[in-house]
Amino acid sequence: MVEQFGIELIQSLKNFLPEITLTLTLAFVIILDLIFGRKVRNIGAYVSLVGLAVTSFFTVKQYGGTYQIFRAMFVVDSYSTFFKFIFILSAFIIIVFSLQSYELKETSARRRLGEYYFLILSLTLGAFLMAGSVNLLMMYLSLELVSISSYILAGYIKESERSSEASMKYVIYGALSSGLMLYGISLIYGLTGELNIYAINASLLSSGYSPIVLLIALILMLAGFGYKISAVPFHYWTPDVYEGAPITVTAFLSVSSKAAGFAMLVRFLKASFIDRTVTVGIEGAWAIIQGLPWTEIIAILSALTMTVGNIIAIWQNNLKRMLAYSSIAHAGYILMGVVVAQNLGISAMLLYFLAYLFMNLGAFYCVMVVAEKTGSEDIEVYKGLGYRMPFLGVAFTIFLVSLTGIPPTFGFVGKLYLFSALINAKVIWLAVVGVLNSVVSLYYYIRVVRNMFLRDPELEKSPIALSTVHIAVILVLLIPTLLFGVYFGPIVDLAQSSVAMFGLR
Amino acid sequence: MQILGIGILTWIVFLPILAMILVLLVPKGREIWIKWISVVATGIQVILAVVLLLNYRYDLAGINTLEGFQFVEKYRWIDVSGVAWFGRIVIEYFLGVDGLSMPMVVLTALICFIGSIASWELPKAKGYYALYLLLDTGMMGVFVALDFFLFYIFWEVMLLPMYFLIGIWGGPRREYAAIKFFIYTLLGSVLMLLVMIGLYFSTSIIDPVTGEKVHTFNMLAMMDPKNYEPGAIFSGLHTTWRYIAYIALFIGFAIKVPIVPFHTWLPDAHVEAPTPISVILAGVLLKMGTYGMLRISFPIFPDGMLKYALPMAILGFINIVYGALAAMAQEDFKKLIAYSSISHMGYVVLGMAALNTQGVTGAIMQMFNHGTITAMLFLIVGVLYDRAHTRGLYEFGGLANQMPKYFGIVIVAFFAALGLPGLSGFISEAFVFLGAFQTYKWIAIFSATGVIITAGYILWTTQRLFFGQLPDRWKNLPDINARELVTLVPLAIIVIFLGVYPSPLINLMNTSVNHLVRFVSEMGQAGGMQIGILP
């Protein structure tokens, strides 16, 4: 018995190497920062980058395998591995951003940089766990790991009132929604007596259930998920937190924590609330469990999220706040992939996340550079900026165009696949809402472009020089945004082969 | 036909992009190089268009048969192998021309060349010409793409350059005009996107290489009902979804034409845009809408076309009369030309709706002729505005003696717009009416009032500008200069030549038009639909 447990444990640990590497890295970050932190200020960042590189090595090795480890607590499959790539990429890029961030250099935060990188890594670890957990308790714990790391990160600039306020709001909303989610979990546990999502599904199918209770449980759980992915009506924290937090943290939250929420939500829905006894005529489609119309609920959530996000974004003059609402709208677009309950939708969602990673981080980076050079994130300082920093102006325009979803950019390809999934499943109304939202979103994205190129600079007119590092970082994000807009074959291939989830067709 | 191993159509489409890269590399202070690079590049484009024309085979129809297309280039662009739950994705780089696209290719090359000469004195030359050349690629690509996806990419690539060209180099209300243009066109194109995706999932062809069934964006495959999968959203004929798709596509293209009531972006965009951009807008961009209908809507949705032919003819009538009436009410010279553009595009719509050889021939001829005539008109406005810095019609008078050469050119353009026999506008309008009269007698008769109103505002404008007393402040207006003549005279020659001897243009499109008309009517009538005739 003990012997068998030992074998299992070793097997599990072998397939847990990326997470173990991350854990070791974050331990190293703290220790090395304590020892060398005074001499080499950014040692945490360098250690983290190395650690992430090693993690990505193990993650690549894992790709394609499917196993269940730690006694059905956690799974490794292509789906979670794909999301792990996204988390690694985004953490890597964010650490590079942070190395140049003026907010971290010029405030008291510069004395606490070790902890900053520690938190970035712990958030990434939490996201890794969220992508792979199949047990409701494990899901809840990893969600909390992500949340707690992000609470601290959001308030990292102590002397900034906005930053502290953001953190405070984040904690309060977070506590409420995770409380609701726990309540949902307890209802499901009461209904089925199981915590493993596959077991929950089996129990629901074999011994029946009360649809009303299940619906209530689902809605309560959605409060938790919706909060992580900032879906309307659980989005209220987003603008304040995104505006108040340091830009690097905002960018990180908008990608990693959102992607983790989606990873978990889709796995939860697909594993628990489908009817495996029924076969649907269409290949790659799942039968929805009786009496629980969750695709309709998600469809309404999606339509609401993108519409509210886009319409409020029109009125924003602070770029960070505008990008916050835009990220809400993008959550709405991504939800469209969930609505169809088909593998095609999931692959579209994965593809969109890759596109979103590059274009959204690119946009945030441009805002960061401009804020560093001009000291403000207000749309007013962008007047004539295209002539003062032509390279950044053009790059920012391309990122915004990609966010709008106009070809030839990666953002367009992402949207194309989302709409394709909807039309293939004949959910035409949502596709129409989606495209109309794209048109609305053009208006606020193009406002920035208008200020950059159509208006003349008001006070300062001198050109602003960009360092080589700035240009290099922008290029690293810009090239995929354009390249995958024209040649997207391989990336679609990757997204399509990554939908495989453990134990599910 | 290849040059350096690359197909001639690829050259004609991507040459401007090469020139754009060169323009961006030109060092500061050498603006003159930029201008020459652009003029030479667009000049080579004209030469390539002439080469195409000389090698064009008049007996091939195109439309829905691959063999009928000429200078075809067909390569795999995106190829994603299938998975268990989703088939293989194939998107092709597929170019070719037939009688519908050939006139448009020539027109685009010509207008872009003239536009780049007309842009000579605009400030910020580097940015301007870079965007201008990108726009050129987008427009040329739309007219030669035969894969819907590729078509859509080219269609959208144009938007951003146009936004900047109006927004940066435009008049006082340029910001408003630019964003209005952008939002209207994007709204149209997202509707097109949805229809495109729907068509993709509805049609599938057998891949000749592997023998597996693949969905396709190939327009020619979408025209064949045999390729539609049973149970797909657009399969069958005369289904509700097909009608909805036809209407969505129609709105998408109608915004570009523009067909009333989707026209309000046009007067703003035209008035605010700098002269060469107005020339491009009126000369080429508007044709993309009607070209899209002929290339995509009609052959892919013949049932929808026949069902809604009558409303389309009525819209054409409204365009003609409303545009002409609105033009009559304008006091701004440029706005007058903008509304006259709407009126003239109405003839195209009316001719297409008639769906017979005369009508469609007239429509395509009108597309070409309107391209040349309106380009002239906008250049003419530009000449006057550059000198007087005002466009108020009531502020002028007696210019005929002050600027005699200018007057001579203007009269050619004005009379061509008015439809005077002997000039190209007359021929195309006559064909449109010949066609429309057979199908919609009364609509054709009522539309003919548009010709009278046009004569009214054109003559009235001539009177206000050129006759009567010359105000003192215009005593020193110089006559038209050599560079402006270079832009106007070739167009005037074409207008006169095609007015006297239109057969080269008619022969160019004849086979394709006959084939298109026969194809659409037979396909549409297969389900018992007849073209609507007013009692």
pLDDT band at B527 (very low <50, low <70, confident <90, very high): low
Chain B positions touching A344 (Cβ under 8 A) are 85-86
Answer whether residue B389 shows pLDDT above 60.
yes
What the block records as the tokens of A499 is: 């939908």
Answer whether residue B84 shows pLDDT above 80.
no
Of B146, B138, B55, residue with least CA distance to B101: B146
| Closest CB to A284 among B80, B85, B152 | B85
What is the pLDDT, as a whole number, of residue A505?
A: 65
**Phi/psi of residue A384, each to 5°?**
70, 10
3-state secondary structure of B147: strand
Place of tokens 């097997």: A11
What is the pLDDT, as a whole number, of residue B528?
A: 54
Minimal C-alpha gap between B214 and chain A (Å): 15
Contact A439 B198 (CB under 8 A): no
Model confidence pLDDT, tens digit, residues A38-68: 888 888 899 999 999 999 999 999 888 888 8
A194 contacts A200 by C-beta, under 8 angstroms: yes
| Closest CB to B80 among A426, A446, A492 | A492
If you compute the radius of gyration of chain B from its CA atoms, what whole number of angstroms results?
23
3-state secondary structure of B234: coil
Answer whether residue A361 shows pLDDT above 90.
yes
| Closest CB to A419 among B80, B86, B197 | B197
What is the pLDDT, as a whole number, of residue B533?
A: 45
A11 contacts A34 by C-beta, under 8 angstroms: no
B284 contacts B290 by C-beta, under 8 angstroms: no
A173 contacts A239 by C-beta, under 8 angstroms: no
What the block records as the tokens of A35 is: 């020892």
Minimal C-alpha gap between A456 and chain B (Å): 10
Of B251, B271, B365, B383, residue with least CA distance to B327: B271
> How many Å apart are CA B286 and CA B293, to the nearest integer?
12
Neighbouring C-beta atoms of residue B534, cutoff 10 Å? 11
Contact A408 B157 (CB under 8 A): yes
> How many Å apart are CA A95 and CA A104, to the nearest integer?
12
What is the pLDDT, as a whole number, of residue A160?
A: 85
Residues A421, A295, A404, A420, Cα dihedral to 10°: 10
Answer whether residue B534 shows pLDDT above 60.
no
What is the pLDDT, as a whole number, of residue A105?
A: 82
Which residue type is seen at B347? Y
Angle at B316 between CA B313 and CA B321, to 5 degrees: 130
**Phi/psi of residue B73, each to 5°?**
-130, 125
3-state secondary structure of A164: helix
Q: In three state form, how does the secondary structure of A31-83 look?
A: HHHHHHCCCCCCHHHHHHHHHHHHHHHHHHHHCCCCEEECCCCEEECHHHHHH
Model confidence pLDDT, tens digit, residues A285-316: 888 888 888 999 999 999 999 999 999 999 99
If you compute the radius of gyration of chain A from its CA atoms, what whole number of angstroms results?
22
Answer whether residue B258 shows pLDDT above 60.
yes
Contact A442 B183 (CB under 8 A): yes
Place of tokens 């039309």: A423
Suggest the residue from B86, B152, B156 to mutate for an interface test with chain A (most A CBs closer than 10 A).
B86
Contact A407 B153 (CB under 8 A): yes
3-state secondary structure of A375: coil
Closest alpha carbon within chain A to B78:
A489
Place of tokens 């269609």: B155
Model confidence pLDDT, tens digit, residues A13-25: 888 999 999 999 9
Suggest the residue from B78, B91, B193, B204 to mutate for an interface test with chain A (most A CBs closer than 10 A).
B193
Closest alpha carbon within chain A to B159:
A406
Model confidence pLDDT, tens digit, residues B101-114: 999 999 999 999 99
Contact A439 B183 (CB under 8 A): yes
Contact B168 A408 (CB under 8 A): no
Plot region of A464 (φ>0 → left; ψ -120 to 50 → alpha; else → beta): beta
Minimal C-alpha gap between B434 and chain A (Å): 40
Q: What ipTM was reported for this prediction?
A: 0.92
Q: Which of A265-269, B81-85, B396-400 bottoms out in mean pLDDT, i.e. has the lowest?
A: B81-85
Chain B positions touching A436 (Cβ under 8 A) are 187, 190
Plot region of B469 (φ>0 → left; ψ -120 to 50 → alpha; else → beta): beta
Answer whether residue B166 shows pLDDT above 80.
yes
Answer whether residue B535 shows pLDDT above 70.
no
| Closest CB to B186 among A397, A442, A497 | A442
Residue A420 CB partners (closer than 8 Å, separation 6+): A344, A348, B197, B200, B201
What is the pLDDT, as a whole number, of residue A42?
A: 86
Closest alpha carbon within chain B to A415:
B193
Q: Positive or negative CA dihedral for A366, A371, A372, A374?
A: positive
Residue range B355-381: mean pLDDT, rounded: 93
What the block records as the tokens of B303 is: 């049932």
| Closest CB to B89 among A432, A492, A497 | A492
> How many Å apart are CA A20 and CA A300, to the nearest integer?
39
> How many Å apart are CA B60 and CA B100, to the nearest integer?
11
CA distance readout (Å), A383 to A369, A453, B425: 15, 7, 46
Of A240, A224, A225, A220, residue with least CA distance to A320: A240
Closest alpha carbon within chain B to A429:
B194
Contact B175 A453 (CB under 8 A): no
Answer whether residue B232 shows pLDDT above 60.
yes
What the block records as the tokens of B72 is: 């075809």
3-state secondary structure of A224: helix
What the block records as the tokens of B42 is: 């667009």
What the block records as the tokens of B441 is: 């007698």
> How many Å apart are CA A309 and CA B160, to the nearest integer?
24
Minimal C-alpha gap between B165 and chain A (Å): 10
Place of tokens 């009333």: B260
Q: Positive or negative CA dihedral for A365, A366, A369, A375?
A: negative
pTM > 0.90: yes or no: yes
User: What DSSP string describes B242-309?
Assistant: HHHHHHHHHHHHHHHTTPTTS-THHHHHHHHS-HHHHHHIIIIIHHHHHHHIIIIIHHH-HHHHHHTH
Contact A344 B86 (CB under 8 A): yes
Contact B153 A408 (CB under 8 A): yes
Minimal C-alpha gap between B169 and chain A (Å): 9
Minimal C-alpha gap between B198 and chain A (Å): 6
Suggest the residue from B24, B126, B197 to mutate for an interface test with chain A (most A CBs closer than 10 A).
B197
B205 in contact with A at a CB cutoff of 8 Å?
Answer: no
A158 contacts A244 by C-beta, under 8 angstroms: no
What the block records as the tokens of B313 is: 């003819």
Residue B476 CB partners (closer than 8 Å, separation 6+): none
Of B166, B186, B302, B323, residue with least CA distance to B237: B302
A272 contacts A201 by C-beta, under 8 angstroms: yes
Chain A positions touching B159 (Cβ under 8 A) are 406
Minimal C-alpha gap between A242 and chain B (Å): 28
Suggest the residue from A385, A445, A446, A448 to mutate for an interface test with chain B (most B CBs closer than 10 A).
A446
| Closest CB to B86 among A284, A442, A450 | A284
> How many Å apart are CA B219 and CA B148, to the nearest integer?
6
Kind and range of the H or E run holding B2: strand B2-3
Kind and range of the H or E run holding B94: strand B89-97
A419 contacts A435 by C-beta, under 8 angstroms: yes
B83 in contact with A at a CB cutoff of 8 Å?
Answer: yes
What the block records as the tokens of A2 is: 């003990």
Minimal C-alpha gap between B175 and chain A (Å): 7
B168 in contact with A at a CB cutoff of 8 Å?
Answer: yes
Closest alpha carbon within chain A to B81:
A493
Contact B193 A283 (CB under 8 A): no
Residue range A7-11: mean pLDDT, rounded: 88
Contact A419 B89 (CB under 8 A): no
Kind and range of the H or E run holding B95: strand B89-97
Neighbouring C-beta atoms of residue B127, cutoff 10 Å? 22
A344 contacts B200 by C-beta, under 8 angstroms: no
User: What DSSP string describes B412-472?
Assistant: HHHHHHHT-TTSHHHHHHHHHHHHHHHH-HHHHHHHHHHHHHHHHHHHHHHHHHHSSPPPG
> How many Å apart are CA B500 and CA B488, to the nearest integer?
19
Place of tokens 């795999």: B76
B160 in contact with A at a CB cutoff of 8 Å?
Answer: yes
What the block records as the tokens of B171 is: 């008049």
B17 in contact with A at a CB cutoff of 8 Å?
Answer: no
Residue range A364-383: mean pLDDT, rounded: 91
Beta bridge partners of B205: B214
Suggest the residue from A427, A433, A439 to mutate for an interface test with chain B (most B CBs closer than 10 A).
A439
Contact A454 B167 (CB under 8 A): yes
What is the pLDDT, as a whole number, of residue A367?
A: 94
Closest alpha carbon within chain A to B188:
A439
What the block records as the tokens of B372 is: 């040349």
Chain B positions touching A439 (Cβ under 8 A) are 183, 186-187, 190
Residue range B217-244: mean pLDDT, rounded: 86
**Helices assigned H by DSSP within A405-497:** 410-424, 428-449, 468-486, 489-497
The whole-chain average pLDDT of chain B stands at 90
Number of helices (H) and strands (E) in chain B: give both, helices first.
23, 6
pLDDT band at B529 (very low <50, low <70, confident <90, very high): low
Residue B25 CB partners (closer than 8 Å, separation 6+): none
Chain B positions touching A424 (Cβ under 8 A) are 201
Q: What percent of chain A has pLDDT over 70?
A: 100
Residues A318, A320, A324, A329, Cα dihedral to 10°: 70
Contact B159 A431 (CB under 8 A): no
Angle at B265 between CA A433 and CA B139, to 5 degrees: 85
> How many Å apart are CA A280 and CA B12, to the nearest integer?
49
Chain A positions touching B193 (Cβ under 8 A) are 416, 419, 435
Minimal C-alpha gap between A417 and chain B (Å): 9
Contact B167 A406 (CB under 8 A): no
CA distance readout (Å), B44 to B13, B103, B116, B269, B285: 11, 17, 12, 29, 21
Contact B190 A438 (CB under 8 A): yes
Closest alpha carbon within chain A to B166:
A454
> How many Å apart are CA A210 and CA B466, to the nearest integer?
86
Minimal C-alpha gap between B343 and chain A (Å): 28
Residue range B304-333: mean pLDDT, rounded: 92
